[in-house]
Amino acid sequence: MPKVPTLSSHAARNPSRTIQPTRKRRSEASRATRALATERRHQQAEELEADLEEHYRVQDELIQALAEKYGRTGTYIWKIVCNGVRYGVKRAPNLRNAIAHDLSKKAREEGGASNLREFEYELTGEEYQRIKASLDDAEKKRLLDQLADHRAVVQHGPRATNKANQMDAVQTATRVGEVMRDLYERTDVVGIGLFSRGDPDDDSAPCIVDSFGGRQFFEDVLHISALDVVRKLEAWNVLRDKEVTNNNKLDNVRAELTENIRAGLCTPLPLCYELPAE
């Protein structure tokens, strides 16, 4: 069988090889069109560059005018204009959303349906006006403050869910590892970080981060693998500040029963009969 070349011009010969497409012979009209398109593309690039230069000139004049008007330096105005991140204005909490949030929260506490969209859909027209008329100023302020606090927690604070807890732990551990590696690059300082969950119901897995192979210290000096150290840390962290005998886990109950049975078997039983007289 002949040797298959590296570049095959026919896909059926060897589909695993890269294909070298055939070169098309273009017509005279096609060549002329491509030449015109290339010339037009170059012309548009020159026009774009000229427009950008005009834009930058006008921008510099505007920055200088603002600096003179407000008594600032041109660098300060330039940073605000060119580097400032422009976000939309945050929507202030209104009374309708505050009422819907309060109804959803009460339904969730009572164990019922707590779909916020359904409550917002129902608060239209006469129903919203009726609830609004029944509220005094203090209650309205309480509802608005409650919604504002909820939004602040959702946007900036931790969320009380296992998934959020796990993501927070993973991202924080990753960031600590990056900082430790940057520290090693700057100062040649080696570090090791161990992370473990503190509650057995959490989903966060234990992990270890280091710089410049610092985890080898456990194997080379202490003769124990880094994973064993992390597992021991997790077991210690989960069980500390807790009484193991009071933990209603199946393994702990079995261990306690086994210990009691063994202690009972080792204790000699009293004789329940009298020895015959000699």
Work out the pLDDT band at 221, boundaries 50, 70, 90: very high
| Single-letter code of the amino acid located at 147 | L
Task: Choose among 114, 85, 91: nearest CA to 102.
Answer: 114
Q: Is the pLDDT of residue 23 over 80?
A: no
Question: How far is it, in rounded angstroms, from Cα 256 to Cα 249?
Answer: 11
The whole-chain average pLDDT of the chain stands at: 77
Q: Residue 35 has what pLDDT? A: 80
pTM of the entire predicted model? 0.35
The structural domains of the chain, with segments of one domain joined by +, span: 28-82, 95-156, 162-261
What pLDDT, in 10s, does the model give residues 227-277? 889 989 988 888 876 654 455 566 777 777 777 777 666 555 554 445 455
Task: Choose among 168, 218, 226: nearest CA to 197.
Answer: 168
What pLDDT, in 10s, does the model give residues 33-50? 888 888 889 999 999 999
What pLDDT, in 10s, does the model give residues 169-202? 888 898 899 989 988 888 888 999 999 988 777 7
